[in-house]
Structure 1
Amino acid sequence: MEKLTIAEAKRINDTMVSEAHLKLHAANVAACMGAMAVHFGEDREHWEAVGYLHDYDYEKFPEEHLLHTERELLAEGVPAEDVRAILSHGYGHRNEVEPKSKMEKSLYTVDELSGIIQAAARMRPNGIADMDIKSFMKKFKSKGFAAKCNREIILKGCEMLGMDIKEVAEIAIAGMKEHAEELQLTGNQA
């Protein structure tokens, strides 16, 4: 394949991932990646596809995450640069594939960031629809909130991108707002 599409990413991901929460995480990251692509003037669908596929081996190999990705995705025909981008989100904690491109740095950053945004949006009556950066930052600064989401990685990623956390979070929130229904973030207002 010349370029990974979102349809291909979903097809490939479905061969390994069956848990609904992992598919939802893939969709959250894809939405953030699409917004980052637009911000950088890059190909939105391509970045979304890479984001969607980033945790390809996680369900089956949580302790060996990303060790069952490279050979398998290359065999599926995923371009080597996309596979490298996927591997780079494990930099420093799963491998030493350092994020170099804007796509790689974005994926490294929004993987964890999307989890905090999702958790914060789920607590709001209107979901993500009326979430602003101020309310997000309160949750981000509260270490006990969405505690499994690694804030150090997020901040390191923002530094790599040469961007402030507020700027990246605003882009990611906007991207997730566009997909609120698919991401189950429309809130609980009747």
Structure 2
Amino acid sequence: MQLTRDKALTLFKEFNQSESLYTHALSVEAVMRYAAGQRGHDPDFWGIVGLIHDLDYEKYPEKHCLKAAEILRERDWPEEVIHGVVSHGWGICSEVEPVHEMEKVLFAIDELTGLITATVLVRPSKSILDLEVKSVKKKWKTKGFSAGVDRSIIEKGAALLEMETADLIAMTIEGMKTAAAEIGLAGIE
């Protein structure tokens, strides 16, 4: 099977109508593409996995990751894609551990993109283009800010990648900047 972004996007949209979930998928895709390029891997492959990682979340939240594996297998998607998608829920809704570098990056940045988005949206500029790591770290420590983001998962992901949390935040910001307009974080005009 030839993997393409168009196929991944069509599949994602078949199972998801939520604009915020779509924007999240685009954010994760952008970071995955950026990280792959930085690490000498295939940005298209990493991006596709990032784009479809929450394939089942809207329709099957109680079976998140498990239903995605089922859907992808029914459509003959490669096992390496399925493992990547399922492993991003490690310790949350899946027992599949991230092993490949791509899987570790996905695990680490999934929650972090949400925290960064929330940080951008409370800034006067509403832009990721001028966002600094220190702003995210400040919001990280603010009790109650973006309370749905599990900081311990981000820390666990950074440890898996043997990265400092600040470096992971910086990489994620840079990746999200590559899609700033598409994800609605290019700022106010």
Q: Same fold (TM over 0.5)?
A: yes
Cα distance between partner residues in 2 of 1:24 and 1:77: 26
Matched letter for residue 55 of structure 1 = D
Count of residue correspondences: 188
User: Partner of 2:7: helix, strand, or coil?
Assistant: helix
Structure 1: distance between partners of 2:118 and 2:133: 14
Residue matched to 1:154: 154
CA RMSD between the two structures:
1.1
- Name the CA distance, whole Å, in 1 between partners of 2:141 and 2:115: 11
SS in 1 for 2:15: coil
Q: TM-score scaled by structure 1?
A: 0.95
Letter in 1 for 2:92: H
Matches of residues 157-168 of structure 1 in structure 2 within 5 Å? 157-168=157-168
For the residue of structure 2 that corresponds to 1:63, the secondary structure is helix
Instruction: Work out the CA distance in 2 between the residues paired with 1:113 and 1:17.
Output: 21
Normalised by the size of structure 2, how large is the TM-score? 0.95
In structure 1, distance between residues paired with 2:154 and 2:134: 17
Q: Which residue of 2 aligns with 1:49?
A: 48
Identity across the alignment (%): 40
Runs (5+) with no aligned partner, structure 2? none
Please state whether the residue corresponding to 2:184 is helix, strand or coil. coil
Compared CA separation, residues 47 and 143, structure 1 to 2 (3 A): farther
Q: Which amino acid aligns with 2:10?
A: R
| Residue of structure 2 equivalent to 1:99 | 98
Code of the residue aligned with 1:118 in structure 2: it is: T
Task: Tell me which stretches of 4 or more aligned residues in structure 1 moved more than 6 Å.
Answer: none
Q: Offset at 1:45? A: 1.6
Q: Deviations over 1:13-64 (max 9, x none)?
A: 1110111111111111111111211221111121111001000111001122
Distance 1:132 1:7 in 2: 32
Aligned to 1:136: 136
Q: Which amino acid aligns with 2:41?
A: E
Q: Are 1:121 and 2:120 an aligned pair?
A: yes
Residue 17 (structure 2) aligns with = 18
